[in-house]
Structure 1
């Protein structure tokens, strides 16, 4: 059986590792916190990030990266996106030549304004990695309960993509292949911004009409920026675009939507972030995508207003009012 090294023991990393171990694959999960590793070994549960889910007895966990990646055939990266460069740089010497990297983290690096494929290429360039991105409408809790889920796998190499498609699919987790990996990764990143916007709208009590407008115009922003970065517009109509956007803008399990809801209800960002252990990737992604759009000259009005609310302490009601009073235009 192939060995899969899963890097990152948050809710999504633990869920994917548990799913693969349940398939009978040799699966190792790297978790930075040694105390959490011991708890998982003793209790068979990740109470920090995935409470209530019993983990497969075949899943191996360790804080020792060398042990986790040794002899691995596949490397599933599920580290918060702003830390991927740091972690991979630290442990780069442990990776083989031509490693197969499957990234399941969603975001744009703030320091460089690069998507995850370029970050990984930067760090592992001399290792000549193969790259794929896993994204789509998927809550860790629902996948952990084996509820039907469908996602996209972005991979430019069709032969490798089909191989990874088989590796990752189960009878409840269906993987669709898409050669436009850039579109898949950008859809997964930018939709988190729109989830914050939708949460703000709902927190203000603006109703279903407003949320539907945000989802629709949010999709237009995702497509616009994606095309500017070389992605295909039709990718954003699929699972990693529209599918993930609808889920995170409407589902209360969305961490980013929850951030928006609390902002709309009057809480401040610092207070919101201090109250949760899990990472809402959309906060940092809003900042990086805002600056990326300005660099490229791409108009992203929703992203701009979410940025102002998050980082300039703008009144959410004023942000919505400015969106509604923009110059009228064709759709």
Structure 2
């Protein structure tokens, strides 16, 4: 069945999703700040709207569009991140703007350029409305993109946000040429930090070990196609955060997510040493070697600690 799909945001991810669903035979209309026009016109008349805005864009647009959203039109949030000021994910921002929205989250190991080239991938579609998830699984899955369902939108969304922090750490590790042993250890301990945050914020830790967590981490912590990974490489090479962001030339959501999570950890007493060192390095409070030294000199403890 062909759907009328609206896409808000035409960065790399939004543009890729629009093209993917158009090739499936769906009728796609899109909006971006750069192209102009009225986003409400895209929502009206759509069977489904995917929002692929950067988190800053969601923060600005949700209060404006949320109250005007047609309650019958599901919103699929494709944005990844955690805002350091309001400490909310994208779907939480939409929910604050309109608690009656039919919200879903889409997340997974989906490097936009690979999908744009026709490479196959899988992703997770998460919502507490399971009949809607199953309906959209059938309508949106294809030979190129296989969709799995989940009833844990918060856990899926947090996993997708937090893995960007660890992708930055992976880039730093590779930039310093610390080797495979160190990187495996780093990402494993990074998973422990992600699990802690997901649990504390009310998500299901099981989502961490699915496509949105471990799956996405394997892709983004190892690929130069990942903006967060390239940002980490640049920091390891001695660039400042503004220089690294300019070199990447696109939004690096993991940077602000790291700030948000490190702040939460400090306030609540959570042990998040990798997040904290990523922030310290990005803010120029330590060198790459000092960040590694700080992690290696932490007090000894059991693996589950």
The answer, yes or no, to whether TM exceeds 0.5 is yes
* Alignment check: 8 A CA contact 1:69 1:94 kept: no
- 8 Å contact from structure 1 (residues 13, 78) kept in 2: yes
Question: Is structure 2 residue 37 aligned with structure 1 residue 63?
Answer: yes
Distance 2:210 2:220 in 1: 14
Question: Could you tell me which residue of structure 1 aligns to residue 155 of structure 2?
Answer: 183
Q: Is the 8 A contact 1:215 1:246 kept in 2?
A: no
Equivalent position SS for 2:184: helix
For each residue in 1:166-201, what CA deviation from the matched residue of structure 2 results, as whole angstroms up to 9, or x when unmatched? 232111111111111111001100000001111111
Normalised TM-score (structure 2): 0.95
Change (3 A) 1:181 1:91: closer
Could you tell me which residue of structure 2 aligns to residue 3 of structure 1?
4
Contact kept in structure 2, 1:74 and 1:101, CA below 8 Å: yes
Aligned residue for 1:292, secondary structure, equals helix
CA-CA distance at 1:270 after TM superposition = 1.0
Deviation at 1:83, TM superposition (A): 2.1
Q: Any runs of at least 4 consecutive aligned residues in structure 1 with deviations exceeding 6 A, and if so which?
A: none
Q: Could you report, residue by residue, the CA deviation over 1:44-66 in whole angstroms, capped at 9, with x for unpaired residues?
A: xxxxxxxxxxxxxxxxxx63323
Alignment partner of 1:123 out of 92, 97, 103: 97
Counterpart CA distance in 2 for 1:168 and 1:311 is 41
Query: In the alignment, which of 67, 70, 78 is matched to residue 104 of structure 1?
Result: 78
What CA distance in whole angstroms lies between the structure 1 residues aligned with 2:24 and 2:209?
30
Query: Counterpart of 1:207?
Result: 179
> How has the CA–CA distance of structure 1 residues 25 and 184 changed in structure 2, closer, same or farther, with 3 Å as cutoff?
same
Of residues 245, 250, 253 in structure 2, which corresponds to 1:281?
253
Deviation at residue 98 of structure 1 after TM alignment = 4.3
**CA–CA distance in 2 between the matches of 1:225 and 1:92?**
27
TM-score by length of 1: 0.88
Paired residues, number: 302
**Cα displacement (A) at 1:31:** 1.6
